[in-house]
Chain A
Amino acid sequence: MLLDFARLGPWRVALILIALLVGAYLLLPILLIIALSFGSSQWLQFPPPGWTLRWYEELFEDPEWIASFLTSFKIAAVVTVLSVGIGLMASFGLTRGTFRGREALRALFLTPMILPVVVLAVALYAFFLRLHLNGTFFGFVLAHLVIALPFSIIAISNALERFDRDIETAAIVCGASPLEAKIRVTLPGIRLGLISAAIFSFLASWDEVVIAIFMASPDLQTLPVRIYGTLRQDLSPVIAAVSTLLIALTAGLMALAAFFRKDARS
């Protein structure tokens, strides 16, 4: 009755209405940004009086935006590699280790995910002041690594726990050394976990803004920091263009994740 859409009676109308409303609430702002990024109005009139690529041109001709884009990308790329590598090792230890306090350690590794970011941002800002790491590439990488690592550990640990360890044992009995068995059998076996870990680590760094606001220097600004700084001054349509590109990137990564999931089922 209540879980049968066809037999929901008058409740069905209410449910469809709310779903429609919330769907619009969630989707329209995103569509609005995309539309405005192609709109000709400097003051974000809607519907736009005309269409233009002017804001994209402004964006791509501004070396500061390009620099921020590259900075964000480099940081996110380095963070992704380190996060997956460190996360992979940690996950092996957490799922297969027999040392005491494994659960406590797992909880500690996940804490950065549940703690308010602003606390970490302020704390790291103070700490990096002393180490002269604020405004440095290395500082950004370290900070974002702390944010990204929990995603890596969750994704890879889950995959490792689902991976039948007897398969690795079988590889060893077949003559592979323990390391060779891990590389040739276990890593391919958990590849979807590794891909998830990479995607989430990348997004965690790429989208991170709070810590970055504190740590950024005029010379080293990630993309989110530049967006935030611009937004505090005015609602330039250039931001709509940047946002549209970011939405496209997110949608692309989501499609990639969905593709790998489907691939796993076939």
Chain B
Amino acid sequence: MTVTDVPIATPSPVLAAARRRGRGLAPVLPALALIVVVFVIPVLALLLRSVLEPEPGLQNYAAFFASTTYLKVLGNTFLVAGTVTVATVLLGFPVAWFLAIAPSFWSRLLFAIVILSMWTNLLARTYAWMVLLQRTGIINRTLMEIGLISEPLPLINNLVGVTIGMTYIMLPFMILPLHATIRSIDPAIFQAASLCGASRFQAFTRVMLPLTASGIAAGALMVFVMSLGYFITPALLGGTSNMMLAELIAQLVQSLLDWGLAGAAALVLLVITLAIYMVQLRFFGFGQARG
């Protein structure tokens, strides 16, 4: 949702040549000071503690990777992030497609729903799923009333609940970039494919999918990496026995006060996140990453 301005202009030819190198740093300084003091230093300090506390060395990393508990947390994190990514691609692609071609009223309506959902307070949305998924919640009660199940399904306080809630939250981040990708395709390409003798299925697999592959990949990487570090939804919809990485970091700090190990876990999360962003930057550029 970016609000755009005035007609696009190329950089001024009048002044371009007059620019001298090394100008214009001063106005950036307040922002730079803020980011360095309130972002760079604290984060580096946290990461440093992972190799300094309780004593200098890599024992925190050794402990992290030796513990089956922590490895299971890492496994859970990847499992949930992977499932959410696949689910958002499968659901998001048809929706993005629909948005690109459906009659204006319907596509606008659905688009408004997607945007509204994206910007609705995260806690409000998570609350809705807590209500829906609880033992005596609407979903379980409805299923029991129509006789599909006799016992309430365990939908909350486990990874099922987390996955359902996170898919809900991540869907807009998949739909919006995919929508932009599909809209940028010239419809005449499919008329050409049709004249060349391609069936709908062939046109889909041989033309549409290749043309949207980069959009799908960009959206998938973004959803995956956002899911990896998510905290609120897992904390409220998940259970204590099946944590994700972000929850673990929080718990290490809040309950166990183990700053060294928390720093190590944070670094693991950071490295994975940045590595995936590097892949994204390398192949798709930053602009597309944000949709």
In the complex, the answer to whether A264 meets B5 with C-beta atoms within 8 Å is yes
In the complex, the answer to whether B200 meets A2 with C-beta atoms within 8 Å is yes
Expressed in whole angstroms, the Cα–Cα distance for A107 and B259 within the complex equals: 28
Expressed in whole angstroms, the Cα–Cα distance for A36 and B250 within the complex equals: 31
In the complex, the answer to whether A210 meets B232 with C-beta atoms within 8 Å is yes
The residue in A5, A46, A118, A158 that gathers the most chain B C-beta atoms within 10 A of its C-beta is A118
Neighbouring B residues of A121 by C-beta, 8 Å: 231, 250
Expressed in whole angstroms, the Cα–Cα distance for A108 and B38 within the complex equals: 13
In the complex, the answer to whether B27 meets A235 with C-beta atoms within 8 Å is no
- Given the known interface contacts A2-B200, A109-B35, the answer about A93 and B27 at a Cβ–Cβ threshold of 8 Å is yes
Q: Is A96 an interface residue (CB 8 A)?
A: yes
Q: Is A127 an interface residue (CB 8 A)?
A: yes
In the complex, the answer to whether B9 meets A224 with C-beta atoms within 8 Å is no
Expressed in whole angstroms, the Cα–Cα distance for A194 and B132 within the complex equals: 39
In the complex, the answer to whether A14 meets B94 with C-beta atoms within 8 Å is yes
Expressed in whole angstroms, the Cα–Cα distance for A262 and B134 within the complex equals: 42
- Given the known interface contacts A1-B203, A18-B95, A163-B9, the answer about A105 and B28 at a Cβ–Cβ threshold of 8 Å is yes
Mark interface residues in A120-132 (1 if CB within 8 Å of B CB, else 0).
1111111100000
Expressed in whole angstroms, the Cα–Cα distance for A203 and B119 within the complex equals: 9
Neighbouring B residues of A242 by C-beta, 8 Å: 124
Q: Is A42 an interface residue (CB 8 A)?
A: no
Neighbouring A residues of B99 by C-beta, 8 Å: 19
In the complex, the answer to whether B12 meets A165 with C-beta atoms within 8 Å is yes
**From residue B1, how far is it (CB to closest CB) to chain A in Å?**
7
Neighbouring B residues of A114 by C-beta, 8 Å: 225, 273, 277
Which secondary structure dominates chain A's binding surface? helix
Expressed in whole angstroms, the Cα–Cα distance for A71 and B243 within the complex equals: 31
Neighbouring A residues of B45 by C-beta, 8 Å: 123, 126-127
In the complex, the answer to whether B42 meets A124 with C-beta atoms within 8 Å is yes
**From residue B41, how far is it (CB to closest CB) to chain A in Å?**
7
Neighbouring A residues of B253 by C-beta, 8 Å: 122, 125-126, 214
Residues of chain B from 112 to 136 with CB closer than 8 A to chain A in the complex: 113-117, 119-132, 134, 136
Least CB separation from A226: chain B residue = B123
Expressed in whole angstroms, the Cα–Cα distance for A232 and B25 within the complex equals: 47
Q: Is B180 an interface residue (CB 8 A)?
A: no
Least CB separation from A90: chain B residue = B31
Q: Is B98 an interface residue (CB 8 A)?
A: yes
Expressed in whole angstroms, the Cα–Cα distance for A192 and B4 within the complex equals: 7
Q: Is A75 an interface residue (CB 8 A)?
A: no
Neighbouring A residues of B102 by C-beta, 8 Å: 5, 15-16, 19
Partner of B9, one of A27, A162, A214, A228: A162
Least CB separation from A236: chain B residue = B127
Expressed in whole angstroms, the Cα–Cα distance for A254 and B120 within the complex equals: 10
Partner of A36, one of B97, B115, B131: B131
Expressed in whole angstroms, the Cα–Cα distance for A36 and B20 within the complex equals: 62
Partner of B35, one of A94, A146, A159, A203: A146
Least CB separation from B1: chain A residue = A257
In the complex, the answer to whether A146 meets B38 with C-beta atoms within 8 Å is yes
In the complex, the answer to whether A16 meets B98 with C-beta atoms within 8 Å is yes
Partner of A228, one of B35, B125, B232: B232
Kindly specify which of B60-68, B144-152, B185-193 makes contact with the partner chain: B185-193
Neighbouring B residues of A120 by C-beta, 8 Å: 39, 42-43
Neighbouring B residues of A164 by C-beta, 8 Å: 6-7, 9, 12
Neighbouring A residues of B23 by C-beta, 8 Å: 97-99
Mark interface residues in B30-49 (1 if CB within 8 Å of A CB, else 0).
11101100111111011001
Q: Is A135 an interface residue (CB 8 A)?
A: no
Q: Is B270 an interface residue (CB 8 A)?
A: yes
In the complex, the answer to whether B42 meets A123 with C-beta atoms within 8 Å is yes
Q: Is B138 an interface residue (CB 8 A)?
A: yes
Can you list 11 A-B pairs with a CB-CB distance of less than 8 A? Answer: A30-B125, A125-B253, A149-B34, A164-B6, A165-B15, A166-B12, A207-B122, A228-B236, A231-B236, A240-B127, A261-B3
Residues of B within 8 A of A (CB): 1-9, 11-12, 14-15, 19-28, 30-32, 34-35, 38-43, 45-46, 49, 91-92, 94-95, 97-103, 106, 109-110, 113-117, 119-132, 134, 136, 138, 168, 171-172, 182, 185, 187, 190-191, 193-194, 200, 203-204, 207-208, 225, 228-232, 236, 246, 249-250, 253-254, 259, 262, 266, 269-270, 273, 277, 286, 290
Residues of A within 8 A of B (CB): 1-5, 8-9, 11, 14-16, 18-19, 21-23, 25-27, 29-30, 32-33, 36, 43-44, 46, 86-87, 89-90, 92-94, 96-100, 105, 107-112, 114-127, 142-143, 145-146, 149, 153-155, 158-159, 162-166, 169, 189-193, 195-196, 203, 207, 209-210, 214, 224, 227-228, 231-232, 235, 239-240, 242-243, 246-247, 250-251, 253-254, 257, 260-261, 264
Please give me the 4 A-B residue pairs with the lowest Cβ-Cβ distance, nearest first. A116-B229, A97-B24, A243-B124, A93-B28
